[in-house]
Structure 1
Amino acid sequence: MNKTIVITGLGWLGTPLARHLMQKRYSVKGSVTSLQKATKLQANGIDAYPLLLSECGIDGDPNPLFKNSDFLIVMIPPGLRKNTGANYVLKMSHFLKQIQQSSVSKVVFVSSTSVYGDYQGRVTEAIKPEPDTEAGKQILTVENMFFSSEQFSCSIVRFGGLIGGSRQPVRYLAGRSDLNNGTAPVNLIHREDCIAILSEIIAQDAFGYVFNAVHPHHPLKQEYYLQKAKELHVSPPQFSEDKNDQSHKQVDSESLKEILNYTFRRSI
């Protein structure tokens, strides 16, 4: 019998992930934030349900989504850039209660390398995160909530900056000046590797682990973005020459190699 996977967040990453898993003969269901989005995905062959999480609770019925489901991949961003006062912990606590009451036995929680502070230097999964932003602090709290749940097994995946398709960070930086941290290493990952890593966790039944998911190549930001600007024919960003700025963070992915025997497929 085919295993059923639920993906909460059928967006830029979740939708191609759903198609990839369907090609591997999994049954896939997913959630989006509106009925209009769900209807569009349904028309394209993806079993989608409207579900909106807020600090007040859940708008929509999660029961059809979770019914007879084995795995859950949680991809719900904190949204603190748009709403700096948002309470991601409260929002996710409502969702966690619903998961704990469902048939889901294994969860992948998609997190972020922002749980590591910018002054932590080189970090691996063995290093305790010390977040220095509000988003990082809230994400780490939610990580711990999910990882410590006794109702299901959980793995955490901390993605670096996401690239691929139309998402090229240099486009947002083009023409800007006096950018900071030009001598800091980049911590990026291509969408195709994100999809492959999440798929491998399920295929290898690798639950109970924390994975940093960042490409092993870490060029300096100013070198990387200048090169990308040339390749994409956009105005190069300019970085400040602040020699005193030591807020560098390099996130390395040791568990991917040791536990999944994973080799990155796409360059950054």
Structure 2
Amino acid sequence: MKPSISILGCGWLGIPLSTTLLKAGYPVKGSTTSPAKLKELTKLGLHPYVIDLHNRKDRNHFLNADILIIAVPHKNIDNFKFLRTQIKNSQINRLIFISSTSVYPNTNGEVTEKSQTLPTPLANIESIFSNISGIQTTIIRFAGLFGGDRKPGLFFRDDSLIKNPDGFINLIHLDDCIQIIKTLIEKNIWNQVFNACADTHPSRREYYTQEMQKEGRKPPVFDNTKASEYKIVSNDKLKKHLNYQFKHPDLTHFIEPK
């Protein structure tokens, strides 16, 4: 029997992830902060729950699962500490925390999982979940997210001045986000930290000019007054440990699946 999974945060990533896991035979619970979305989650086949981390109610039923995936853009450290206590007292024994490569500073070079992180709330939240006794935790640091209704050619307004034009792009498509999480679960890869980012890193100038043209928009305006700062996120560890090949490795020649 496949392990049961609870997904905290059924939004842009959580909803398609949950449907993928359901199709693969996993029992899945999903949370939303909006009662109006309960019917939508039910229709998808999920066992839905309304959970707002600001509201510290009992979450025993939701946490009655083998694996918890935390996929919420929430930065309140105290609320996460309370959630950690609830997890410790629950059935959960494996945990995936969705983080971001924004924890790394711009180094004007490559960053790996061993690189120093910034003292940000997100980095602190990672540490809250990385050392829970009796629970195996894997942290995935996703690069910038795109896919579906998140189109890079729409990331900026017409009047935006795009900084760091000669820096480099770090992005990952929704399809790869989902497949990476599914692969981690299937292969039982725990107690790890992984960067998840497409293989290619075109310049911001090249990439956003191309993507805005795809959307029929006028060319972007870049800030050329300062030297560009950037980082290039390495995905080598993830590809090696998971034996993973990206569905969308090449950002320059990407075409959105239909």
For residues 141-156 of structure 1, what are the structure 2 equivalents within 5 Å?
Answer: 141-156=124-139
- Match of residue 66 from structure 1: 63
> Is 1:112 the equivalent of 2:100?
yes
- Match of residue 11 from structure 2: 11
- Deviation at residue 44 of structure 1 after TM alignment: 3.3
- Deviation at residue 118 of structure 1 after TM alignment: 2.1
> Which whole-Å deviations, capped at 9, do the CAs of 1:73-101 have from their partners, x for residues lacking one?
111113xxxxxxxx621121111111111
> Is 1:198 the equivalent of 2:181?
yes
- Match of residue 219 from structure 2: 236
Matches of 2:44 and 2:193, distance apart in 1: 33
- Deviation at residue 129 of structure 1 after TM alignment: 1.5
> Is 1:176 the equivalent of 2:159?
yes
- Deviation at residue 257 of structure 1 after TM alignment: 1.4
- Match of residue 254 from structure 2: none
> Which whole-Å deviations, capped at 9, do the CAs of 1:219-252 have from their partners, x for residues lacking one?
011110001112221222110213x424211111
- Match of residue 53 from structure 2: 53
Match of 1:249 among 191, 209, 231: 231
- Match of residue 77 from structure 1: 73
Judge conservation of contact 2:94–2:135 (CA < 8 Å) in 1.
yes
- Match of residue 130 from structure 1: 118
> Which whole-Å deviations, capped at 9, do the CAs of 1:150-206 have from their partners, x for residues lacking one?
130100000011000110132131423432111110110000000000001100000
Q: CA RMSD in A?
A: 1.5
- Match of residue 82 from structure 1: none
Give aligned pairs, total.
250
1:173 counterpart SS class: coil
TM-score normalised according to structure 2 size: 0.92
- Match of residue 83 from structure 1: none
TM-score normalised according to structure 1 size: 0.89
Q: Which runs of 5+ in 2 are unaligned?
A: 252-258
Kindly provide the amino acid, as one letter, of the partner of residue 258 in structure 1.
K
2:161 counterpart SS class: coil
Matches of 1:205 and 1:2, distance apart in 2: 12
Indicate the percent of aligned positions where both proteins have the same amino acid. 35
Matches of 2:227 and 2:76, distance apart in 1: 30
> Which whole-Å deviations, capped at 9, do the CAs of 1:50-89 have from their partners, x for residues lacking one?
00012xx524x4111112x1111111113xxxxxxxx621
